[in-house]
């Protein structure tokens, strides 16, 4: 048997464990071994790898008789392994708001959500330098699934890139979502932010140029 075939079998076994934990909520190594018809030693090896990847966690269950046993469950991180329809759900909600309450109500909802995000980020960025704020922003939006990174350029500005758009179908249907996102970045960072391209328009990434406050002031004076 080739190395590739062995690796595939191991991946299938770990995938089966994840599926079982999703269905049953929590299981012991003994129960998993019984379901998979493999040894407990084999299951524990897979559990160890899944734990190191942050996909499962365990807790000790004490019983009236005998030694305590460990019960395994999926972590929040493992949720991304299963299909999600949040994007489509959000779009359908916006469709209903616009249909029943009108376009103005839709704008108010999106604007209010952006305002809350701005307030939250400003609180998190309080006391940080410009460079620290940009890095904190990239980290914050990456945690929400945007796969973002920020790189400093020679003139002191930053190039912010988002390689994923978790709300892509919403942004395609409602460009205002992207406009409010841009406003969030500008107001939370306290500087000029220009969007060069976006995934919703067919680009591979969403890309922004973030100018330091000093450059923003110089540009304003020239105008």
Consecutive 10-residue runs of the chain (223 residues): their mean pLDDT?
A: 39 85 89 92 92 91 78 86 75 93 95 97 96 96 90 95 90 95 97 96 95 65 51
**180 and 206, same structural domain?**
yes
Quote the pLDDT of residue 85: 67
State both tokens at 40.
């407990």
State both tokens at 82.
């299963």
**93 and 197, same structural domain?**
yes
**112 and 59, same structural domain?**
no
Task: Please list the residues that pair with 194 across neighbouring strands.
Answer: 209
Going by C-alpha positions, the residue among 72, 59, 77, 63 that lies closest to residue 29 is 72
**109 and 42, same structural domain?**
no
Strands 56-61 and 69-74: antiparallel
For residue 49, give its domain range: 3-81
Number of other residues whose CB lies within 10 A of the CB of residue 137 = 25
Quote the pLDDT of residue 7: 43
- Report whether 173 contacts 117 (CB < 8 A): no
- For 24-69, how does the pLDDT look when each residue is reduced to its tens digit (9 = 90+)? 889 999 999 999 999 999 999 999 999 999 999 999 887 777 777 8
Domain boundary among 47, 81, 115: 81
**70 and 43, same structural domain?**
yes
Phi and psi for 82 in degrees, rounded to 5? -110, 150
Domain count, the chain: 2
Q: Which helix (H) or strand (E) holds 159?
A: strand 158-162
Going by C-alpha positions, the residue among 213, 189, 185, 211 that lies closest to residue 125 is 189
Q: Which helix (H) or strand (E) holds 196?
A: strand 193-197
């Amino acid at each position: 048997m080739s190395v590739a075939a062995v690796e595939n079998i191991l991946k299938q076994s770990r995938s089966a464990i994840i599926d079982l934990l999703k269905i049953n909520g929590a299981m012991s190594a003994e129960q998993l071994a019984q379901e998979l018809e493999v040894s407990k030693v084999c299951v524990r090896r897979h559990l160890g790898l899944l734990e190191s990847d942050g996909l499962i966690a365990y807790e000790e269950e004490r019983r009236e008789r005998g030694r305590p046993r460990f019960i395994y469950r999926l972590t929040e991180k493992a949720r991304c392994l299963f299909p999600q329809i949040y994007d489509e759900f959000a779009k359908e909600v916006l469709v209903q708001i616009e249909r029943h309450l009108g376009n103005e109500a839709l704008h108010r909802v999106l604007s209010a959500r952006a305002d809350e995000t701005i307030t939250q980020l400003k609180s998190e960025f309080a006391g940080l330098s410009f460079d620290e704020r940009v890095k904190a922003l990239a980290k914050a939006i990456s945690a929400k699934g945007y796969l973002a990174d920020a790189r400093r350029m020679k003139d002191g500005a930053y190039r912010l890139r988002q390689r994923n758009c978790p709300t892509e179908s919403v942004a395609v249907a409602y460009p205002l979502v992207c406009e409010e996102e841009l406003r969030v970045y500008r107001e939370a960072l306290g500087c000029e932010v220009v969007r060069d391209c976006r995934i919703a328009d067919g680009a591979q990434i969403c890309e922004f140029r973030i100018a330091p406050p000093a450059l923003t002031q110089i540009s304003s004076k020239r105008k």
